[in-house]
A and B are shown apart, each in its own frame.
Chain A
Amino acid sequence: MKFIEVRGTRIRIRVHESGSVSAPAVVLLHGIGRSLEDWSLQHSLLDDEYRVISLDMPGFGLSQRLPAPTTLDGLADGVWAALSELGLNAVHLMGNSLGGAVSMTMLASQPDRVSTLTLVNSAGFGKEVTIALRLLAVPGLGRRLLARVDARTAPRMERQIFADRALVTPERVEMAIRIARQPDFAAVYLEIAKELGGFRGIAAPWRSALLQRVSGHTKPTMLVWGDRDVILPSAHLAAARVAFPHAQSHLFGGTGHMPQIERAEEFARLVRPVLARVSV
């Protein structure tokens, strides 16, 4: 775990790296209000053949925020800048939830730098989203809800993520509380939530615009979902398959919002052949 300075010394980004620096790079992006810990299990599952990089996106986890209000484009640019700082040009991209939408935005902005795309319970394929996120759009309520991430509420939030409650470990709860105490946590959370939707759910215009920008690409693509996801429903997988007709897909049974944790080994087995289709 280390911090890198991106764009001079303005933004400190937390990065977890494993594997050989000369191996092809796999970049793992987390969801809204989350951190690189959501990808920690995949490091040891993939780093024998790949340089595996997970990072806290700007303003999330323990990374510093962008100076401008947080947007998808801003996050995509921020991640690309961090990867350039690490000396990386082309990478395999994997994104969970918001990280999926950021991955698609990165593909749209710098398609030549994306080797393969793996979207994991990704935002961008429907308006349905958990009431917990929709409530953030209620004026005054969002900031208050986000200010109250503590030992009592955090386990409840973690339970939304997994089908198997045993995965709500003390470590995960502790990390959720730690990142919620970062100075810009609530502000960044609300900025991106507001950009992506409102009380009525995830807004359509940015989704259709983004899908239009990436629909022409033919990069090897894997679409993954967990059938017990209560944050972004697995019915969105059908829309994702329409948006990426050339993609492969897999729906995990008995799995919630984070198959990369809940089905870690199966997930790695599933994506390895996708990564192998392109040598960076």
Chain B
Amino acid sequence: MSSPYRFAGQTAVLTGAASGIGEHLAYGLAERGSDLVLVDIDEARLKPVADRIRGSHPGITVTTVIADLADRSAVEGLGARILAEHPAIGLLINNAGIALGGRFDQVSVEQFETVMNVNFRAPMLLTHALLPALSSGSHLVNVSSLFGLIAPPGQSAYSASKFALRGLSEALRAELAENGIGVTTVHPGGIRTRIAESALVGISVPESEIEPNRKLFAALLSYPADKAAALILRAVAKRQARLLISSSAKAPDILARLFPVGHARIVRALTTASASRSPAVTR
């Protein structure tokens, strides 16, 4: 893939569009002239995002779809509906994701599976369903995570789901290159989003630990979501294979408190991956 991705006049499908990186991806795509299909579970948050875009960019078409990506049949229905309404898609961004707090023995199997279903099965199903709409020049983005590269304790389900998504994404990059379709795998770490607020908590995590951990998690999130979105769209334009976005300013300290045993390894991975506040980019 060498020709840059051109956003204007193409349709972009984006999951998790109501807040965080997804919300800012939606604004950035609208500014670049893409028609939008915005997917989220949170109707109350998605509507104002869509309305704001329609007000600022009346020349593009904005469609919103409310769907629970944890539900297999809902994702299949979503894929069928989008394919029927948009037989040609320029860009698919699998951005939606959820977090789950707690050690492996503190989370239920159902919770573990919910994380896998939203973070991995949904992008897999949606990409599979929408492949016929992608053609030469199209592009696919999978938002994995820093924890799709390293697996800290307390993140078994999240890391497993993000490792799986990374694996799918990297294999697809090679497969789809033959069809002229680009693939970018994104590994954000510490982006300021709502993921801490909306994180699931393992059913056996002691009550007293929930709020302090949620606060620590939220404090770890320092990189602005709008900047992360801008970096992702730049990586798409350049057909970059992998994008790592992370702020290392606060992370080491908080990681040490979060993960007293394993933090050294994480910090090493973090600091070698991104040496400064500016995003480290690897190809």
CB contact under 8 A between A248 and B8, given known A227-B33, A238-B31, A241-B31 = no
B32 near A251 (CB under 8 angstroms)?
yes
User: Which residues in A have their C-beta under 8 angstroms from that of B8?
Assistant: 227, 234, 251-255
In the assembled complex, the Cα of A273 lies from the Cα of B59 at a distance in Å of: 11
A251 near B56 (CB under 8 angstroms)?
no
Residue B135 is within 8 A (CB to CB) of chain A in the complex:
no
Seen from chain B, the residues whose Cβ lies within 8 Å of a Cβ on chain A are: 6-10, 31-33, 55-60
> Which has the most chain B C-beta neighbours within 10 Å: A241, A249, A255, A266?
A249
Q: List 15 A-B contacts (CB under 8 A).
A: A227-B7, A227-B33, A237-B31, A248-B56, A249-B31, A249-B56, A250-B57, A250-B60, A252-B9, A252-B33, A253-B6, A253-B10, A255-B8, A255-B9, A266-B59
CB contact under 8 A between A248 and B9, given known A227-B33, A241-B31, A253-B33 = no
In the assembled complex, the Cα of A222 lies from the Cα of B16 at a distance in Å of: 29
Encoded as 1 (CB less than 8 Å from any B CB) or 0, chain A from 158 to 171 comes to 00000000000000
User: Which residues in B have their C-beta under 8 angstroms from that of A131?
Assistant: none
CB contact under 8 A between A227 and B58, given known A241-B31, A249-B31, A253-B33 = no
In the assembled complex, the Cα of A252 lies from the Cα of B55 at a distance in Å of: 17
Shortest beta-carbon distance from A116 to chain B in Å:
14
In A110-153, the 8 Å CB interface with B consists of none
B31 near A248 (CB under 8 angstroms)?
no
B57 near A248 (CB under 8 angstroms)?
yes
In the assembled complex, the Cα of A266 lies from the Cα of B60 at a distance in Å of: 11
User: Which residues in A have their C-beta under 8 angstroms from that of B31?
Assistant: 237-238, 241, 249, 251
Shortest beta-carbon distance from B36 to chain A in Å:
13
In the assembled complex, the Cα of A74 lies from the Cα of B32 at a distance in Å of: 34
Shortest beta-carbon distance from B264 to chain A in Å:
42
Shortest beta-carbon distance from B17 to chain A in Å:
19
> Which has the most chain B C-beta neighbours within 10 Å: A238, A250, A251?
A251
The residue on B at minimum CB distance from A227 is B8
Could you tell me the dominant secondary structure of chain B's interface residues? loop
Shortest beta-carbon distance from B213 to chain A in Å:
39
User: Which residues in B have their C-beta under 8 angstroms from that of A234?
Assistant: 8
In the assembled complex, the Cα of A237 lies from the Cα of B55 at a distance in Å of: 17
User: Which residues in B have their C-beta under 8 angstroms from that of A251?
Assistant: 7-8, 31-33
In the assembled complex, the Cα of A253 lies from the Cα of B60 at a distance in Å of: 11
The residue on B at minimum CB distance from A250 is B59
A270 near B6 (CB under 8 angstroms)?
no
B6 near A248 (CB under 8 angstroms)?
no
Shortest beta-carbon distance from A24 to chain B in Å:
20
User: Which residues in A have their C-beta under 8 angstroms from that of B57?
Assistant: 248-250
Encoded as 1 (CB less than 8 Å from any B CB) or 0, chain A from 240 to 280 comes to 01000000111111110000000000100010010000000
User: Which residues in B have their C-beta under 8 angstroms from that of A252?
Assistant: 8-9, 33, 59
Shortest beta-carbon distance from A277 to chain B in Å:
11
> Which single member of A227, A248, A266 contacts B55 (CB below 8 Å)?
A248
> Which single member of B9, B56, B59, B60 contacts A227 (CB below 8 Å)?
B9
> Which single member of A238, A241, A270 contacts B58 (CB below 8 Å)?
A270
User: Which residues in A have their C-beta under 8 angstroms from that of B59?
Assistant: 250, 252, 266, 270
> Which single member of B7, B55, B58 contacts A250 (CB below 8 Å)?
B58
User: Which residues in B have their C-beta under 8 angstroms from that of A248?
Assistant: 55-58
> Which has the most chain A C-beta neighbours within 10 Å: B7, B8, B57?
B8
B9 near A253 (CB under 8 angstroms)?
yes
B6 near A273 (CB under 8 angstroms)?
no
Shortest beta-carbon distance from A218 to chain B in Å:
15
Shortest beta-carbon distance from A250 to chain B in Å:
3
Shortest beta-carbon distance from A136 to chain B in Å:
29
B58 near A273 (CB under 8 angstroms)?
yes
Shortest beta-carbon distance from A225 to chain B in Å:
8
Instruction: Report the 5 A-B pairs with minimum CB-CB distance, sorted nearest first.
Output: A253-B9, A251-B33, A250-B59, A253-B8, A227-B8
User: Which residues in A have their C-beta under 8 angstroms from that of B58?
Assistant: 248, 250, 270, 273
- Beyond A227-B6, A248-B58, A255-B8, 6 additional pairs, beta carbon < 8 A: A227-B9, A250-B57, A251-B33, A252-B33, A254-B8, A254-B9
Shortest beta-carbon distance from B23 to chain A in Å:
18
User: Which residues in A have their C-beta under 8 angstroms from that of B7?
Assistant: 227, 251, 253
Shortest beta-carbon distance from A276 to chain B in Å:
12
The residue on B at minimum CB distance from A241 is B31
User: Which residues in A have their C-beta under 8 angstroms from that of B6?
Assistant: 227, 253-254
In the assembled complex, the Cα of A241 lies from the Cα of B30 at a distance in Å of: 13
User: Which residues in A have their C-beta under 8 angstroms from that of B33?
Assistant: 227, 250-253
In A197-256, the 8 Å CB interface with B consists of 227, 234, 237-238, 241, 248-255
In the assembled complex, the Cα of A251 lies from the Cα of B9 at a distance in Å of: 8
